[in-house]
Amino acid sequence: MNGVPRLVVTLTARGLDEARTELADAHRAGADMAEIRLDRWSEPDRSRARELLPSPVPLLLTLRSRAEGGEGPDDPAERARLRARVGGAGWAAIDFEAARDALPARGAGGPAPAVWVSTHLSPEATPSDLARELQHPVPSGAVRKVVVSVTLGPGLDEILARAQAAARSGVTLLATGPAGPLQRAWGRRLGLPYVFAAPPERRPTDVSRRVDPAQLPVDRLRRFYAAEPPAPILAVVGRPAARSWSPWIHHRWMGAEDRAGLYLALEPESAQELIRILPKLAEGGLRGVNVTAPFKEAALTAANRRQPSAETVGSANTLTFQGSTVRADNTDLYAVQRRLTELKVSGVWSGEDLVVAGTGGAARSAVVAGREHCARVAIWGRRALMAEQLAREFGVECWTPGRGRASSLVIHATPVGRGPSGDALPIREMLAPSGHLLDFVYAATDPSLRNAAAARAASYESGLRLLLYQAAASYGIWWGTPPSDRLVEEALREAEPCEA
């Protein structure tokens, strides 16, 4: 096992006061260094940057140019003037861009900051571009860093192996893009000298404050790297997946139960890519993955051991790797079954009828759960032919506008809610007055469905509780026991305000 990478926390701060708070958090979370992104600061705050000194952790000063994905100037002379204004003494290191910055002369005098020489390749960079950068000599005493954006499949096929070879030659090759989270998880086994991390995330919405989406919270990485033997890796796999709340949920429970593990958000390009890389993920220490849209049905085909939940529904949202075995479960089914029982017990739902809007994996789970509750189930889809096929497969009705009955309960299982297209759904026709709309979507950005329920004097429920219930069932599969109901309810109370 290689040594533990040094964790460099890139502060999201855009000014002095916010930076002080993030520095304190990074220090408590175990950061080895913090990166000040001076290009993100306003001019008045830049002039006060030295007020951060002395710092509780060593500071790396970075002025990322626009040409390399930052917000700072590209002109070498202007860049030099900005650096001169904040001075050199006191900073642990200063980052220089290989393409546009002259390196400082190493003269006599007091201790000078360490020199980092970086290159951020554009997403259009070719393998030969990367090879050329990796062959550049490393200046004596400097840290050489090359950053490349890469998708998950090519990252597994080539970039991560290159990163290991580069580390042996003294170069830190870092991946951003979809392959970035996995490379950080494998930082120790790849022998990376440095890994750039995000500040700790206290709420599920904090993911939006990472400077780079590929970065992982420093406290999670510190605990994961410190585990002996290596702790398991888990992930949610979907497209999109980067803003999923599942990593926050699982890490909250792992922390409460003193478990060491790392939960990632991974985005394959396609279902074919997902199926192809699953063996490599398993070999790389992944214990299991949650699968979200649009890959749930493809996940079932990738499994060679199918649990009844997945077999009955015809899709899988949880895969578990056990040697050469890939086990498929459907914990969405458990989540809907549990919630339907609660709605019946509380009197919110009579249990007699149910309309499911959608035809994907979540909709299939809702149909099966409703049928097992002996409800009269009808299914609607924007693609009428698909809805008719599913209705025949499960032996339920096909709901059609103008002819379908309004139901006391509607389960919404389409992507609507994450974009402004909710008015296109016939929810008002589906939902009976004073009924209940149960949404699979949580933290919706489009209020159309909530408004449709209000127009029918009906109650609306986001998919947050369903998310937590399926997460708890997956957690139980991977760790042996699910989190307690108390931990589930605590996570619900903490996350609910983030939906507003």
Fold classification of 256-329+468-499 (topology level):
Rossmann fold (3.40.50)
Q: Provide CATH 3.40.50.720 ranges for the chain.
A: 335-462
Q: Provide CATH 3.40.50.10860 ranges for the chain.
A: 256-329+468-499
In our burial notation (b when 16+ CB lie closer than 10 A, e otherwise), range 80-107 reads bebbeebeeeebebbbbbbeebeeeeee
Q: Contact, 23 vs 52, CB < 8 A?
A: yes
Confidence (pLDDT) at 107: 53
Confidence (pLDDT) at 108: 46
Query: How would you class 37 by CB atoms within 10 Å of its CB: exposed for 0-12, middle for 13-18, buried for 19 or more?
Result: buried
127: its two tokens: 């393998």
169: its two tokens: 């030659």
CATH superfamily of the 335-462 domain: NAD(P)-binding Rossmann-like Domain (3.40.50.720)
Query: How would you class 67 by CB atoms within 10 Å of its CB: exposed for 0-12, middle for 13-18, buried for 19 or more?
Result: middle
Confidence (pLDDT) at 433: 95
What pTM was computed for the model? 0.94
Query: Position of tokens 């970039």?
Result: 159
Compute CA 451 distance to the chain's CA centroid, rounded to the nearest angstrom.
29
Say what the alpha-carbon torsion angle 66, 72, 78, 82 is, to the nearest 10 degrees. Answer: -160
Query: How would you class 139 by CB atoms within 10 Å of its CB: exposed for 0-12, middle for 13-18, buried for 19 or more?
Result: middle
Dist. CA 297–CA 496, nearest whole Å: 29
Confidence (pLDDT) at 1: 47
What does each of the 500 residues of the chain score in pLDDT, given as a tens digit? Answer: 468 999 999 999 999 999 999 999 999 999 999 999 999 999 899 989 999 999 999 999 999 999 999 999 999 999 999 999 998 889 999 999 999 999 987 654 557 899 999 999 988 888 888 988 888 888 888 999 999 999 999 889 888 889 999 998 889 999 999 999 999 999 999 999 999 999 999 999 998 889 999 999 999 999 999 998 889 999 999 999 989 999 999 999 999 999 999 999 999 999 999 999 999 999 999 999 999 989 999 999 999 999 999 999 999 999 999 999 999 999 999 999 999 999 999 999 999 999 999 999 999 999 999 999 999 999 999 899 999 999 999 999 999 998 889 999 999 999 888 876 656 789 999 999 999 999 999 999 888 999 999 999 999 999 999 999 999 999 999 999 999 999 999 999 999 999 97
Q: Contact, 347 vs 372, CB < 8 A?
A: no
Confidence (pLDDT) at 339: 98
Fold classification of 6-226 (topology level):
TIM Barrel (3.20.20)
Dist. CA 175–CA 166, nearest whole Å: 12
Compute CA 22 distance to the chain's CA centroid, rounded to the nearest angstrom.
21
**Hey, how many other C-beta atoms are within 10 angstroms of the C-beta on 135?**
9
Cα-trace Rg, the chain: 25
Confidence (pLDDT) at 402: 84
Q: Provide CATH 3.20.20.70 ranges for the chain.
A: 6-226
